[in-house]
Every structure is written in structure tokens, then in C-alpha cells.
Structure 1
Amino acid sequence: MMTITVKYFGAVADSTQKKEEVFRFESERITLNLVQSRLEEQYPNLKNITYSFAVNQSITKEDVGLNDNDEIALLPPFAGG
């Protein structure tokens, strides 16, 4: 069993009405895409929001394997400057 903490920010937090939650997966091999699918199933509005992922505080644009106790953040677009 794996435990993944998911944190929500900005419009994503507004959509889920949560700042953070913990998910448990029966499988020992899960990926970011699997977590995204589960989140979009639970929160269909996420499909209409632009966001990116950070895994353990590192932004990623690709599907990656996850480990027990990893932390995922869903980040809204932000402007740099």
C-alpha cells in the first residue's frame, strides 16, 4: 500500500474546496498519470483548469513513478518577473 499527500493551490484549491488530502493506493507501483486520473475522476472540474504538478517540490511535466509518502502539489499558472 502506498500513501501520497496531495496539496492544492490557487484555483485548484478553490475547485476542490481543499488545501490538502491524503490518498492511499493498493498498488506498490503508481504513476503521476494514475494520480491525475483519480483526481479528475473525483473532481471533474479539474479538467477545466490549467495546472502543473510538483513532486516533492520539483515541478515535472512528464509522467513519473511515485514512491510511498511522496508529496504532490497541483499548481495554478503563475507569472514570473
Structure 2
Amino acid sequence: MELKVLYFGMIAEITNCQEEMIFLEQGSNVDQLENLLKDKYRKLQDLSFKIAIDKEIKSNIVLLNTKNEIALLPPFSGG
């Protein structure tokens, strides 16, 4: 299946793009997507980030589908 993934902040700098299409097998979950992206972009392995599915942080076992809005969110600084 083809998934559109959005990147923000330092993650967009690491990937050198703000969005891209990623291909995963049907029935893949958030954890499998994260592993694929960490393999593709080695600098993500050392970065703490969240993956939002349809604007919500979800469990890594949630199954993905082509209609999901997927975004990688960098660490937030608070204040």
C-alpha cells in the first residue's frame, strides 16, 4: 500500500523533504513504518519523535491504511 508521510521541523531537514510516499505491505502497523523510516534515514534512529495518525498519537500496533494522514513530529520544547 502507498502511504503519504508528512515531515516537520528537524525531521524534514533530516529527510530533505516535507512529505513523501512510502510503500508498505497491506496490514502494516505504525511500528513497521517507524522501522522502515529509521532504516531509510539513519539519523532518525537517534532522534526522539512521535508518529501521528489522523492528527492523534496512537499505539505502535495500530494498523495503517492508505486513507491515514501520517505525520512525523519532532521533539517539542516547552516553556
State the TM-score, normalizing by the size of structure 2. Answer: 0.87
2: distance between equivalents of 1:79 and 1:46? 18
Which residue of the partner structure matches residue 54 of structure 2? 56
Which residue of the partner structure matches residue 34 of structure 1? 32
Matches for 1:1-81 after TM superposition, within 5 Å:
2-25=1-24, 27-60=25-58, 62-63=59-60, 64-80=62-78
1: distance between equivalents of 2:78 and 2:57? 15
Report percent identity of matched pairs.
35
Question: Residue 5 of structure 1 aligns to a residue in which SS?
Answer: strand
The count of corresponding residues between Structure 1 and Structure 2 is 78
For residue 28 of structure 2, what is the amino acid of its counterpart?
I
List alignment gaps of at least 5 residues for structure 2: none
State the TM-score, normalizing by the size of structure 1. Answer: 0.85
List alignment gaps of at least 5 residues for structure 1: none
